[in-house]
Amino acid sequence: MEELGLQMTAGLPVWFRMAFILFITLVAVVYILPRIRRDKTGKWYLYSQKYEDNKRNEKQDKTLSTLDALVKSVSNLTTNQCDISTKLEEHIKKDIDIIAKIDKDISDSKADRNDLGLTNLKQSVYLQEMPIEERLYDGLKYINRGGNGTVKKYIINELVKAAPISYHTITRVKPELAIPGIEVPEEYDV
């Protein structure tokens, strides 16, 4: 290697060789020595602003791509959240409609059950085969549940007058079944 260098420079004048060595020395002192640095691990390296700029640009590009991916995922989440809330509102509306229908059905069932109960009580009031005490008790329940009309008159005029002791016994055990406004003498049932 040295021989090749000597052969190449043999034809050059000495002053040119000296100027070349001086130029190389100046370049080394001015350009290379200030750029020699140590990294975080303690290794020596030749600092290059262009290399550092490229590394910084790569880091920035990586950070920007990560941020872009994050923004896209957040926008997807926002879109998904809007879709989910819309679907949830639709399900809630459907559930409210179903609950309203069920509530109406329950109300209708309660009304039908009350009507059936009143009908059964009315029929048992008129059944001559039943004991008068049971007919009277069913009649008082009929009036207590809101039954009215000729059945109420029949209960007051016929059953209560026919069994006043049973009426007093029933109303003492269940005072809510007493008919307001009527007076029944305390006589023994015959």
pLDDT tens, position by position, 10-35: 777 878 778 888 888 887 777 777 77
Contacts for 101 with CB less than 8 Å, ≥ 6 apart: none
Residue 156 maps to a domain: yes
Asked if residue 125 lies in contact with residue 151, where contact means CB atoms within 8 angstroms, the answer is: yes
Residue 113 maps to a domain: no
Query: 136 vs 188, which has greater pLDDT?
Result: 136
The upper half-sphere exposure of residue 90, i.e. CA atoms within 13 Å in the direction of its Cβ, equals: 6
- Domains in the chain, number: 1
Write down the mean pLDDT value for the chain: 84
Residue 43 maps to a domain: no
| Integer Cα distance of 8 and 129 in angstroms | 144
For residue 136, give Cα distances in angstroms to 28, 111, 128, 175: 126, 24, 12, 14
Residue 13 maps to a domain: no
pTM of the model: 0.47
Torsion over CA of 115, 117, 123 and 129, rounded to 10 degrees?
Answer: 170
Residue 128 maps to a domain: yes
Question: Does residue 188 carry a pLDDT above 60?
Answer: no
Question: Does residue 190 carry a pLDDT above 50?
Answer: no
- Residue 142's domain comprises 118-177
Residue 154 maps to a domain: yes
Query: 50 vs 97, which has greater pLDDT?
Result: 97
Asked if residue 170 lies in contact with residue 136, where contact means CB atoms within 8 angstroms, the answer is: yes
Report pLDDT digits (tens) over 126-163.
Answer: 888 999 899 889 989 988 888 888 888 888 888 888 88
Residue 58 maps to a domain: no
Contacts for 144 with CB less than 8 Å, ≥ 6 apart: 176, 177
Average pLDDT over residues 97-108: 91
Q: What does the pLDDT read at residue 106?
A: 93
Report pLDDT digits (tens) over 44-92.
Answer: 777 777 777 888 899 999 999 999 988 888 888 888 888 888 888 888 9
> 90-97: long-range contacts (C-beta < 8 A, 24 or more apart)?
none
Residue 161 maps to a domain: yes
Asked if residue 36 lies in contact with residue 46, where contact means CB atoms within 8 angstroms, the answer is: yes
